[in-house]
Copies of this chain bind each other. A is one copy, B any other.
Amino acid sequence: MFKGALPGFRDFYPQELAERAFIMKTWRTVARRYAFVEYDGPPLEPLDLYTKKSGEEIVGQLYNFVDKGGRDVALRPEMTPTVARMVAARANTLRKPVRWFSVPQLFRYERQQKGRLREHYQLNVDIFGSPDVAADAELVACAVDMMRAFQLTSSDVVVRVSDRRLLQAYLASLAVPDDALPGVFAVIDKLDRTPGEVSAEKLAALGLSADAVARIVDIASATLADVQARVAGTPAAAHADEFQRYLAYAAALLGGDASWLRLDLSIVRGLAYYTGIVFELFDRSGEFRAICGGGRYDTLLQSLGGTDLPALGFGMGDVVLGELLRSKGLMLPEQSVADLWLAADESLPLEQVMLEAARQRAGGLSVEYSLRSQSMSKQKKAAQASGARDFVTLSNDDVQNG
């Protein structure tokens, strides 16, 4: 007897499927408004597509195996390598900028915890061929407009934005030596899950000054003005100006609303390949994991052996988003119920009901009826249980009168 799905995998009964469809429909609607077009790739890919990008250590988290043709393959853990491969293969013929999105199911073999299963669906939105921060603004505005389409507001969700280059310049202004950077990044990445004194101790142990330690522990509060003041006169001043332009663009794309985004240099993002602006969307209550994350990865296509094409993108999974929507009463799937339940006198041949069902269905209605002759009270009960929007009774007279 087979009771359920594998651990970490979901069965989508009609109710869960309707919720998934609600999320995906909203994603697609907003992505199209931003003129992104949908693509997809295979859920199974050559293993080295992932090890080449992320190193051998990723294999421990993959559903990988050797297929019957002796190929090392893996269920896709993320979409970026696939889309990079697809864009690189047609880099010369694709219209630039390439504005693509997809909604793949992704797979990771990892310890299960809240908001983490072994599979999830992840919206991926990417732009290839646009070096300017205008593209970064377009991308983050699209992510925010998805929140709005789910009826979430900037009181519910915040976009924390950082820029690896600004962060590095800020740290340089605090006289953090280059060889301490990896250690400092690691501390910053864990700041919001670590007591301040612990972070301070670790930073001091890296040889940083008391002032540097204090500022880094509090780095999430650093404003753009703070950063601009500290990097004035250095080459990084241009990055700060660009960042300011980015914020202005994003506000314009959100109809003049600047309330969603804030600079937060504590956003490091685990993935090593980001080269510019990075961002994450969080619920303001801090109850959930990141809803969405992304940024610019200008060197990835080159490093995967493809062409040199600037790139940026974000991913938004269905699991955390679904938890957030449910917690706010905003999970609003369409009900899958018939438009019409067609009942009939028991004396009426079933063919007559079927002919009427055919007529209504040809007109576009969704129609259910009893698949055998039944008493009227049973038919009414069945119709009620089905939740059908309308109940129509067919009698001998109707049929005789057409």
Q: CB within 8 Å of B: which of A6-44?
A: 6-7, 9-14, 17-18, 20-21, 32-35, 37-44
Is there an interface contact between A253 and B357, defined as CB atoms closer than 8 Å?
yes
List residues of chain B with CB within 8 A of the CB of A66.
Answer: 65
A85 contacts the other chain (CB 8 A): yes
A181 contacts the other chain (CB 8 A): no
A386 contacts the other chain (CB 8 A): yes
Is there an interface contact between B38 and A14, defined as CB atoms closer than 8 Å?
yes
List residues of chain B with CB within 8 A of the CB of A366.
Answer: 32-35
Complex: how many Å from CA A359 to CA B253? 9
Name the contact of A354 in the complex, choosing from B43, B137, B304 (C-beta under 8 A).
B137
If over half of A's interface residues share one DSSP class (helix, strand or loop), that class is named, otherwise mixed; here it is mixed
List residues of chain B with CB within 8 A of the CB of A368.
Answer: 35, 99
A73 contacts the other chain (CB 8 A): yes
List residues of chain B with CB within 8 A of the CB of A40.
Answer: 11-12, 17, 20
Task: For A40, give the chain B residue with the smallest CB separation.
Answer: B12
A371 contacts the other chain (CB 8 A): yes
Complex: how many Å from CA A336 to CA B85? 22
Complex: how many Å from CA A40 to CA B10? 9
Is there an interface contact between A63 and B44, defined as CB atoms closer than 8 Å?
yes
Is there an interface contact between A305 and B1, defined as CB atoms closer than 8 Å?
yes
A355 contacts the other chain (CB 8 A): yes
Best-surrounded residue of A35, A249, A253 (most CB of chain B within 10 A): A35
Q: Mark A46-71, 1 if CB is under 8 A from B, else 0.
A: 10110010000000100101111101
With known contacts A63-B67, A90-B13, A366-B34, A145–B361 Cβ distance under 8 A: yes
Chain copies in the assembly? 2
Task: For A352, give the chain B residue with the smallest CB separation.
Answer: B252
List residues of chain B with CB within 8 A of the CB of A63.
Answer: 44, 65, 67-68
With known contacts A33-B365, A255-B359, A73–B14 Cβ distance under 8 A: no
Q: How far is the CB of A65 from chain B (nearest CB, A)?
A: 3
List residues of chain B with CB within 8 A of the CB of A75.
Answer: 44
Is there an interface contact between B100 and A14, defined as CB atoms closer than 8 Å?
yes
Q: How far is the CB of A335 from chain B (nearest CB, A)?
A: 10
Best-surrounded residue of A42, A45, A90, A138 (most CB of chain B within 10 A): A42
Task: For A66, give the chain B residue with the smallest CB separation.
Answer: B65
Going nearest first, the 10 A-B pairs with the smallest beta carbon separation are A65-B65, A1-B305, A9-B42, A252-B354, A35-B368, A12-B40, A37-B336, A252-B351, A35-B338, A134-B371
Known: A2-B304, A9-B42, A11-B40. 10 other contacts (CB 8 A): A2-B85, A6-B71, A20-B40, A44-B107, A130-B372, A132-B371, A249-B350, A252-B352, A255-B355, A256-B355
Q: Can you report 17 A-B residue pairs in the complex whose CB atoms are below 8 A from each other?
A: A2-B52, A2-B88, A6-B73, A13-B90, A14-B39, A33-B364, A34-B361, A35-B368, A35-B386, A44-B63, A44-B107, A95-B386, A99-B368, A132-B371, A141-B358, A252-B354, A256-B355
